Structure 1
Amino acid sequence: MPAFSLLCVAADRPLLTDVEQELAPLRSHFTLRVVIGLEAATQALDELDSLGQPPAVVVCDSDLGDGRGADFLIRLGSRHEACRKVLLGSQPEMNSIIDAVNLGRLDYYLQRPWRDGSLRRAVIEQAGQFVLQHPEADLLSYAAVLDSQPLLRAHVDRQLAQYRQGFMDYTHCSDEALSRAVIEGLYQFFDGNDDARACRRYSPGHVLTREGEPNSFLWFIANGEVVLRKRDEQGQQQEVVRYQAGALVGGMSFVTGEPAFTTGITLTKVDVIKLDKLQFSRVMQARSELLPSFTNLLLRHFNRRLQNSIRTEIRLQQTLASLDAAHQQLMESEKMAMLGQLVAGVAHELNNPVAAIIRGSETLRAAIPELVNLALPAAIKTLGNQTLCRALQAQPVSTSDIRAKTRHAEGRFGDRQLARQAVQMDLDDEQSWQRWFASRTAEERAALLAQLAQFQQTGSFLRNIEVCARRIGDLVKSLKQYARQDSAELSLVDLHEGLEDTLMMFENRLKQHDLHKEYQTLPPLYCHPIALQQVWTNLIANSLDAMATPGRLTVRTGLLEPGWVMVEIEDAGCGIAPELQARIFELNFTTKREGHFGLGIGLSVAQQIVQHHHGRIEVDSELGRYTRMRVCLPLAHQDHSKSSRGADHNDDAA
């Protein structure tokens, strides 16, 4: 019975027949199910799950009669995240496609009618990617019906990895057994072939290596006991370790060519195998099977030697002294400790802009070809290009302004949705109305705005990518600024600009929620703007993670008591229990639910940044209702910063 299945969903029986015929060659390795409508698709998924045949690929028509295919694929992601999704459509449906791609729920779009074999090729490609994600799958078997090259390559890689693991895996073998196997192999090689007298026996007191002198030999101790000694600071020789049968002497200096680190002396009668580099090379060429075991033996020898050295009194005293000095230095270098936390926070936060860039680029890859191929009159094409350029340079507009302009334009367009589109594209003024819309019917105006919306969306995505790329650069730049914060200059900035750039970075996630911005006029603030953007990013990301279902996110700014400004981030999420509110700023403490990435460092870093600005963070939360994080910053800090810089400058001059 196949391990995976292929599910095809449509409302049109002839279409399903075509799909079934084209995918029939895959039945040898996949269970092929074709169903009509959403209800049947849901039942089929339940049956496949109960049979232990999860879908590798779901092919869904855009029009299901009782629902939209894109919506079905979006919902499918929460249940079968690993399966690949292919959407069929008879005409471009950019909004559905963009939504599905942004949410990571759509992997391929194929327009009907498709060319012969194109659907099968698309399913083969997507099924191959699915199979590669499952280590338990028999890649050689699937290579017979899917794209063979990547599957065969992955199969070979897996086999090589298993071979390499077996090649170096001696964890089941004890030190004694491993050394005995190597020594016995060496004796077998030199049996009747020892003209250079590699196999020797020494009396007690024989010196094998001398500390500080060159050593060109590797000594395998077959029987007896050898002691290693090292001079201390007073020149007295101290015993470092004693080696018994199976040990190596001179391994470090033999491998590195450095002078011997210790003096090796026999304590009893000792049987040894003494090899120089030429003899060692001859042995390994003739008995290549000894190479992995010898390599592992040498690594173990170095490891045991390090452990034994640490146990000696001299090495222990030196190590404790070094650790004590390092501890004192860490205690006196609080800034570097905070910088380390900031680095971890920045590394975590890079996930959001990188993901936004990837999703935006995938959307543009699908949108730009359609935009280029639009057959439009020259004047409309020019207007579309102007709309795209305006979207590239658009500045954030408050929600209240958009609503006011929409109400004003609704009288002209006769439809709120059309009026809102015109406002968003800056085409709601009287001149634009007379030139582009007044002489057209309502249907023509709607069609024109739909065409222009494609230009506007493309420009918005390009600007989003630019903002995210700049955000990544700014985050890296902020590390340099933070490392030199004692001498870094504060910048006079508008807090709203940093908030808007941060919200832009979360644009894809915010589509699922109701965003409200309640901004009051604020005076410019002297601050480290990049560091504060890190605070906004942490707080907004936490709020979005806290809302399991679509909810309201409010970003609020205002003036507090004289001399203070505040920024509030409020979500309608799960809330924080009272007993946990006092701990949320602790390092490595997190309340995030399973499935959300959380290291427990974001709020700790945010609090440190705010405190560095002489501000504070307040939390107000009620379980099951909301969480409100308020950042309070003093305006007087700018005067304090300038006077401090002047004092530092005078001290340096003095």
Structure 2
Amino acid sequence: MNSFAIVCLDDDPLVVEKLNQDLAAFADLFDIYNAYSINDANEVLTDIAAKNQRVAMVICDNELGNDRGVNFLVSLDQYPASKQARSVLLNDMPQLDVIMQAVNEGRLHYCLTKPWKPQELKQVLIKELTHFVLKHPDEDWLKYSQLLDHRRILNAHIERQMSRFRSGFIQHSHTLDDTTLATQVIDALHDFFASNDETRACRSYRANHILTQEGEANNFLWFITSGEVALYKKDEHGCRHEVVRAGPGHLVGGMSFISGETSFSTGVTLCGTDVIKLDRELFNKVMNSRSELLPLFTNLLMRNFNRRLKGSIQTEMRLQQTLKSLDEAYHQLIDKEKMAMLGQLVAGVAHELNNPVSAILRGSDTLKQTIGSITKTTLSPENQDRGNDIMQQAMLSRPLSTSEARQRAKQLTEVLGNRQLARKAVQMGIDDNDHIRDWLLPQKGKLPEVLAEWENYYQMGNFLRSINVCAQRIADLVKSLKSYARQDDESVHSIDIHEGLEDTLVIFENKLKRHKLIKDYSPLPPLHCQPIALQQVWTNLISNALDAVDEPGQIQVTTRQVTVDGPTNQAIEVVVEDNGKGIPQEQQDKIFELNFTTKREGNFGLGIGLSVCQQIIHQHNGSIRVESKPGLFTRMIVTLPLGEALKESL
């Protein structure tokens, strides 16, 4: 018995048999269950739960006697075994109202039109089952890699292993003192080379032997096991100065070896010195064969870098160079965080674009067929005009709820005497008294043929409406992303601050839709500012709020005009508040410090976002402060002064 199951539901045994044939390749890793009615399916779900299995996929026909399969898909969340199941709906023909209902209910992942192509079904299964399996970290993902999406599963497996490695690194290596840590690394290396030292990695040098040369490429990493090495740096006049000494347990050439850059200093042995010399190929060989060395080496390398930094700031020259390097690194980190944030935003927007693009493609394919049917119509001119009215109305209307459509169809069935015709009339919105009297009853004898023709007009209008809505959605997303991604403009503009806030909220819509968003905007005068710089502030604040809340959370964006330092000094306040875990009082004074982050494990954060925000706000002569109560809320308050003085200061 497998951990996961696939449920096939159709009242036609031939369809179920065809599904079983197409699912044969998946049967080794997923148990296949068949059901021929809603009652059968409910019993199957109960049986699966009793076996402690979970439903990975439900393939369900839409028309099941008097019921709709989409209603069954909506009810899947009521069963613990099928709560996370992926779903595929089968239709005899594209039915936009059914598809839209399932999408609105959040319970449809794919729709197939009968008869389907086996290859199409296989691609859907691979994609959706991969998504499902990766939602279960307790499973052995690799056993599914040959059947499902190999690359996605392998990448996820590697990321999970790296996460475990990082956890092990944090939990174990930091408890060792410097001497013990260095001894463990060196002993492990000696043990490795004891019977495998063809490259003479273990070496002894006399005094004045040069290990690294400043400004030249370095392809080696040197572990000092005994003796001493001095590192020298030239100043602008070419005079050599000793900047640090390295003894047993220290590393030489670490920075240039890891980064591939030229050596920062010249390393010279001061006496007889024993070393372990590794090139990149040998280093990789050792680390791959001794996985326990990697966290130890990483910690040792970081400690060596830390000692090097502490020693170097003893001289004025090194202090100045360090400050310059830190400033450059700071700006690089700002660029990296902005690019990483942009990458996350692009991924979210790409996800949001997928649904409208898919709807447009489906609609265009159906329109090709529908247009042909309309041009060959046998309707009378009067009925053709009525068909055009139906099409125009469909372009403006919204799909009915299932319950309302069923109730109206039941009432109309009593008039027409045919339930199927009543359903079509309700769907097209011609079931009111006037339409019944003037359109339906006078041609009752040929009504089935007329309604079939009118349905083509309805489908065309419905798909045109869908295409228009989806195209507008795409335009809004692209506009907002373009606004964020364009290059920084250092000039000052007078803008409505709400425009930048709205563009930022649109970019985050993929995440915000899982939470409650409250916008409390007050009428505000134009603000003189750098719009792109401020949009980076809003992006960081909203991103932090999203990371702080659990689903479903609440995020509120408030704007208001306030008075500061006297009645004539007016300012704008922008408040971003979340109901997340909050920030302890002892951390609130640190959140604007460089490299400090409160983000939980698994959330991206370099610890520079709020530092950048504070810098941008200060450039606008404004202020940013935090109010928070652990377990209740966090409120970030940005105050920006109004007036022409700001324009001159920038």
- Fold in common (TM above 0.5): yes
Match of 2:476 in 1: 467
Separation (CA, whole Å) in 2 of partners of 1:3 and 1:557: 51
Residue among 247, 264, 270 paired with 1:265? 270
Residue among 448, 462, 466 paired with 1:453? 462
Separation (CA, whole Å) in 1 of partners of 2:253 and 2:500: 67
Q: CA deviation at 1:472?
A: 0.3
- Confirm or deny: 8 A CA contact 1:467 1:504 kept in the other structure: no
- Confirm or deny: 8 A CA contact 1:558 1:566 kept in the other structure: yes
Q: CA deviation at 1:458?
A: 0.4
- Cα deviation, 1:176-219, whole Å, max 9, x if unaligned, reads 224424664577678xxxxxxx98785xx665669879999989
- Confirm or deny: 8 A CA contact 1:516 1:554 kept in the other structure: yes
Separation (CA, whole Å) in 1 of partners of 2:224 and 2:598: 59
Match of 2:488 in 1: 480
Q: CA deviation at 1:466?
A: 1.6
- Cα deviation, 1:302-347, whole Å, max 9, x if unaligned, reads 767545534537658766666778999999x9xx999999888777
Separation (CA, whole Å) in 2 of partners of 1:219 and 1:15: 65
Shift in alpha-carbon separation, 1:61–1:344, aligned structure 2, 3 A: same
Match of 1:194 in 2: none
Shift in alpha-carbon separation, 1:614–1:82, aligned structure 2, 3 A: same
Shift in alpha-carbon separation, 1:362–1:103, aligned structure 2, 3 A: farther
Aligned-partner SS, 1:480: coil
Give the superposed CA RMSD: 7.6
Match of 2:354 in 1: 358
- Confirm or deny: 8 A CA contact 2:496 2:527 kept in the other structure: yes
- 1:109 is the counterpart of 2:114: no
Q: CA deviation at 1:465?
A: 0.6
User: Structure 2 unaligned runs (5+)?
Assistant: 174-180, 376-383, 397-423, 430-438
Shift in alpha-carbon separation, 1:249–1:538, aligned structure 2, 3 A: closer
Separation (CA, whole Å) in 2 of partners of 1:291 and 1:519: 57
Shift in alpha-carbon separation, 1:138–1:92, aligned structure 2, 3 A: same
Separation (CA, whole Å) in 2 of partners of 1:586 and 1:418: 65
Match of 2:364 in 1: 368
Letter in 2 for 1:63: E
Shift in alpha-carbon separation, 1:214–1:464, aligned structure 2, 3 A: closer
Aligned-partner SS, 2:111: strand
Separation (CA, whole Å) in 2 of partners of 1:505 and 1:221: 48
Q: CA deviation at 1:24?
A: 5.7
Separation (CA, whole Å) in 1 of partners of 2:503 and 2:210: 73
Separation (CA, whole Å) in 1 of partners of 2:41 and 2:35: 6
Percent identity between the two aligned chains = 17
- Confirm or deny: 8 A CA contact 2:388 2:457 kept in the other structure: no
Separation (CA, whole Å) in 2 of partners of 1:124 and 1:52: 23
Residue among 242, 245, 251 paired with 1:241? 245
Separation (CA, whole Å) in 1 of partners of 2:218 and 2:583: 67
- 1:62 is the counterpart of 2:62: yes
- Confirm or deny: 8 A CA contact 1:546 1:592 kept in the other structure: no
Shift in alpha-carbon separation, 1:309–1:260, aligned structure 2, 3 A: closer
- 1:228 is the counterpart of 2:230: yes
Separation (CA, whole Å) in 2 of partners of 1:288 and 1:503: 45
- Confirm or deny: 8 A CA contact 2:312 2:318 kept in the other structure: no
Shift in alpha-carbon separation, 1:615–1:348, aligned structure 2, 3 A: farther
Shift in alpha-carbon separation, 1:88–1:316, aligned structure 2, 3 A: farther
Letter in 2 for 1:474: S
- Confirm or deny: 8 A CA contact 2:349 2:510 kept in the other structure: no
- Cα deviation, 1:21-72, whole Å, max 9, x if unaligned, reads 6646654432222234445534533442443322222111113457533344
Q: CA deviation at 1:98?
A: 3.8
Q: CA deviation at 1:259?
A: 9.8
Aligned-partner SS, 1:92: coil
Q: CA deviation at 1:464?
A: 1.2
Shift in alpha-carbon separation, 1:104–1:251, aligned structure 2, 3 A: closer
Residue among 81, 85, 88 paired with 1:86? 88
| Bigger Rg over Cα | 1
- Confirm or deny: 8 A CA contact 1:35 1:41 kept in the other structure: yes
Aligned-partner SS, 1:110: strand
Shift in alpha-carbon separation, 1:90–1:538, aligned structure 2, 3 A: same
Match of 1:312 in 2: 311
Match of 1:413 in 2: none
Residue among 174, 198, 216 paired with 2:184? 174
Separation (CA, whole Å) in 1 of partners of 2:98 and 2:620: 45
Counterparts of 1:412-423 in structure 2, within 5 Å, are none
Separation (CA, whole Å) in 2 of partners of 1:69 and 1:465: 30
Counterparts of 1:599-614 in structure 2, within 5 Å, are none
Letter in 2 for 1:110: L
- Confirm or deny: 8 A CA contact 2:186 2:225 kept in the other structure: no
Match of 1:3 in 2: 3
Q: CA deviation at 1:460?
A: 1.6
- Confirm or deny: 8 A CA contact 1:102 1:508 kept in the other structure: no
Separation (CA, whole Å) in 2 of partners of 1:225 and 1:151: 50
- Confirm or deny: 8 A CA contact 1:211 1:262 kept in the other structure: yes
Separation (CA, whole Å) in 1 of partners of 2:576 and 2:203: 79
- Cα deviation, 1:575-595, whole Å, max 9, x if unaligned, reads 899999xx9999699999999
Aligned-partner SS, 2:266: coil
Match of 2:34 in 1: 34
Separation (CA, whole Å) in 2 of partners of 1:362 and 1:451: 17
Residue among 366, 373, 377 paired with 2:374? 377
Number of residue pairs the alignment of both structures matches = 550
Q: CA deviation at 1:510?
A: 7.3
- Cα deviation, 1:218-240, whole Å, max 9, x if unaligned, reads 89899863443647979797584
Separation (CA, whole Å) in 1 of partners of 2:285 and 2:123: 46
- Cα deviation, 1:465-518, whole Å, max 9, x if unaligned, reads 1221111001123x714xx2xx3121479x6998699679959987999x9999
Separation (CA, whole Å) in 2 of partners of 1:247 and 1:594: 31
Shift in alpha-carbon separation, 1:532–1:448, aligned structure 2, 3 A: farther
User: Structure 1 unaligned runs (5+)?
Assistant: 191-197, 392-416, 423-435, 650-654
Letter in 1 for 2:185: D
Aligned-partner SS, 2:488: helix
- Confirm or deny: 8 A CA contact 1:89 1:111 kept in the other structure: yes
Letter in 2 for 1:364: I
TM-score, with length taken from structure 1: 0.55
Q: CA deviation at 1:373?
A: 2.2
Shift in alpha-carbon separation, 1:590–1:264, aligned structure 2, 3 A: closer
Letter in 2 for 1:470: K
Aligned-partner SS, 1:106: coil
- Confirm or deny: 8 A CA contact 1:209 1:250 kept in the other structure: no
Letter in 2 for 1:476: A
- Confirm or deny: 8 A CA contact 1:223 1:244 kept in the other structure: yes
Aligned-partner SS, 1:2: coil
Aligned-partner SS, 2:493: coil
